[in-house]
Amino acid sequence: MVEIAEFLSKSAEETTRLGERLAGHLRAGDVVALSGVIGAGKSLMARAIAGGLGIDVAMASPSFVIVASYEGRPGGPAVNHVDLYRLRDYGEALSAGVEDAIHSSAVSMVEWADHVPDVLPAERLDIRFELRREPGHRLIALEPRGDDLGARLSYFITDIVRESFQ
């Protein structure tokens, strides 16, 4: 099983392509936990994954909305876009409906996941973003947690790594 895979994205377009391809390996009920500094690419990745899942509305960064839900394409999963930035603890997350959202049948993308880690399920995909010195460059680390998600993503990650070195 894959532990952690790191990718250097040199543009918003590369990050978007990674998210769109990743979407093809996600299923209803999966949780994607996104963390990194402001402007690192969390919202861009969330929109790319949602687009790959058939969400064709403009998804704004959920800065002032804790949970935004979107209907997927027919037969596909719904998408929850969750923002924990303004929350301080598990109690606030519970009151805001975060736990209900991430334990639903939707694919849930949780921005600022490191702000309230107690609300996250054990089975999830952690994606961490680090900005690089070069403009537009970011290091993206993917870490599947749990056997099912790890097994499903191992082929995806192996393919991406192989393409990176060609």
Identify the CATH homologous superfamily for domain 5-164. Answer: P-loop containing nucleotide triphosphate hydrolases (3.40.50.300)
Rounded to 5 degrees, φ, ψ at 147 are -70, -45
Q: Give, in order, the Cα–Cα distances in Å from 13 to each of 41, 77, 94, 98, 148.
A: 11, 24, 35, 30, 29
Q: What is the pLDDT of residue 49?
A: 95
Find where tokens 């930035």 sit.
85
Residue pLDDT, tens place only, 66-103:
888 988 888 889 999 999 998 888 998 988 889 999 99
